[in-house]
Chains A and B, each alone.
Chain A
Amino acid sequence: MASPVAPAGGTRNGASPEWGGFEENIQGGGSAVIDMENMDDTSGSSFEDMGELHQRLREEEVDADAAAAEEEDGEFLGMKGFKGQLSRQVADQMWQAGKRQASKAFSLYANIDILRPYFDVEPAQVRSRLLESMIPVKMVNFPQKIAGELYGPLMLVFTLVAILLHGMKTSDTIIREGTLMGTAIGTCFGYWLGVSSFIYFLAYLCNSQITMLQMLALLGYGLFGHCIVLFVTYNIHLHALFYLFWLLVGGLSTLRMVAVLVSRTVGPTQRLLLCGTLATLHMLFLLYLHFAYHKVVEGILDTLEGPNIPPIQRVPRDIPVAGLPIAVLNATAKVVALTLQPH
């Protein structure tokens, strides 16, 4: 590789070794182009350059190559190899860190621009889509349109988080808010993203025509029904009312999603699988949101009532602890008395 350049490099080889080493120190973590330049400078010892290449490719062979270089040019080249390796590692690390930071910052801004088209909506559009999310359309033969938009779904998820929080707070018990707030955010976003991905995966298996973006929008707008049901039933604690709303409102929004999915899937088995899974998950999620926090509330009620019982349990446990020093004192007193007696 370096042989064509060897004569040119050989002429200035007498003065170059230090410069070569210096350059390598600077450009340790560079790209392949810089490698070629380095090769030009140190081409007098082409054997060592081959060693450098191997070093880059397989680091475990470093020692052997350095030994080979030492055989040829003595102590200096070995030292140089060590230096180059060290500087390369440091430069590599710095470069990696810098690259990570830069790519993170860049991807944030890039993502903003990438996401902007999905937020390109008018208030009237959002309103009509919210209403449409409650109206199932019975059109199976032709694929129904799904608006690929993320503003509505994102705001609905945030609203659901706020409603869950409201529900937790309106319950008579005092709840440790922070953990439940984290739970609320995690639950809502987890459901939205998780179920969307899962259904998208199923849709891929069932060969239905839907993209991830459409799935996110569909499921996101499907949460509108959940928001209504939970907002009403967290304020009016009636189980019958909840079940009515669950079937009516939750059922309508679920039916809407099912109708869209059916229109975009071919084959009865696939339709049954896909829509059955989605409907089950969606309806059960609403049930879960309504009752899980009741359960949490009951659990906390138990722990709040707890302090009435533990003192009774703690009494027998406390006695030996309290009695122990007295017993010890008695024992020590006896010992002291015994030791004092002979005197």
Chain B
Amino acid sequence: MAEADERTVGETATKPGFLGLSDVSISEDIPVEGEITVPMASHSQDEDYSTLDEPVKETIIRDLKAVGKKFVHVMYPKKSNALLRDWDLWGPLVLCVSLALMLQGGSADSKEDGGPQFAEVFVIIWFGAVVITLNSKLLGGTISFFQSLCVLGYCVLPLTVAMLVCRLVLLAGMGPINFLIRLIVVIAMFVWSTLASTAFLADSQPPNRKALAVYPIFLFYFVISWMILTFTPH
């Protein structure tokens, strides 16, 4: 009897132990299942920014703001990743088209027309950007194709401004002073473009090869600025 009691006591003594173990294993302190709702909670906040049911106007304004912010970044080239982080090709497209339209001379038929045609400017800008990008990739740059295109396209902005100034100055008529103003403006904007794109792109290159990656960029903007400087409307 006593043995039996002892056994029962022993059983009761061991039972709590097992119970305790099972309690520990399923206890709520250590969640084995994992809280699936925890990451969802943070997602629910993102759903407020869903762009599916917002008005089109807001979408356009938001995109325009993003483009405008990148324009500002180009005009004040700081060590920032905004141009690289979320790239887009809208800004480059707008800049390229406006530059090509302003560089467009008279009609294609007239012999005196010295201005390059729209398609030529367009092709030069995009082809040049692609060549620079491929070159930087070949040199071992850690930048994606479209990021580089985005930066190079946005950095045409100073040159587009230079083109605008040149057209305004050319309205006053031709002359040596006129040419000097255009020369200074174009050179300043050319340096600006090159420095801005270098500031954004140089970090992606191996430090010992920055000069090799910068040289084609310099050449690219040099050709574009040369086209702008020699532009004369008829």
Contacts and interface: CB of A to CB of B under 8 A. Distances in A.
Given A166-B226, A169-B230, A112 B219 contact: no
Interface in B117-152: 117, 119-120, 124, 131, 134-135, 137-140
A304 B226 contact: no
B222 interface: yes
A158 B208 CA distance: 22
A128 interface: no
B112 A174 contact: yes
Chain B interface category by residue count: 20 to 34
A177 B116 contact: yes
Given A176-B113, A176-B114, A181-B124, A121 B223 contact: no
B211 interface: yes
Contacts, number: 66
A119 B138 contact: yes
Nearest to A122: B208
A285 interface: no
B227 interface: yes
A174 B232 contact: yes
Nearest to B111: A303
B21 interface: no
Contacts of A212: none
Given A116-B138, A155-B215, A177 B114 contact: yes
Interface in A236-259: none
B212 interface: yes
Contacts of B216: 155, 158
B227 A177 contact: yes
A162 B134 contact: no
A151 B139 CA distance: 9
A176 B216 CA distance: 25
Given A304-B111, A304-B112, A112 B137 contact: yes
A194 to B, nearest CB: 20
B219 A123 contact: no
| Interface-centre pick from A122, A126, A174 (highest chain B CB count, 10 A) | A174
Interface in A117-138: 118-123, 126
A214 interface: no
A55 interface: no
Contacts of A306: 111
B139 A119 contact: yes
Nearest to A115: B138
A178 interface: yes
A46 interface: no
B208 A169 contact: no
Contacts of B117: 178
Contact of A123 (B112, B115, B208): B208
Nearest to A118: B138
A151 B212 contact: yes
B65 interface: no
A158 B219 contact: yes
Contact of A181 (B120, B215, B232): B120
Contact of B138 (A112, A122, A304): A112
Nearest to B227: A177
A165 interface: yes
B15 interface: no
Contacts of A303: 111
Nearest to B118: A178
Interface of A: 112, 115-116, 118-123, 126, 151, 154-155, 158-159, 162, 165-166, 169, 174-178, 181, 303-304, 306-307
Interface of B: 111-117, 119-120, 124, 131, 134-135, 137-140, 208-209, 211-212, 215-216, 219, 222-223, 226-227, 230, 232
Given A112-B138, A121-B212, A158-B219, 14 more contacts: A115-B138, A116-B138, A119-B135, A120-B140, A123-B209, A151-B135, A155-B216, A162-B219, A174-B114, A176-B114, A181-B116, A181-B120, A181-B124, A306-B111
12 contacts: A112-B137, A115-B138, A119-B139, A120-B140, A151-B135, A159-B219, A165-B226, A169-B230, A174-B113, A178-B116, A178-B119, A306-B111
The 3 closest A-B pairs by CB, nearest first: A174-B114, A178-B120, A119-B138
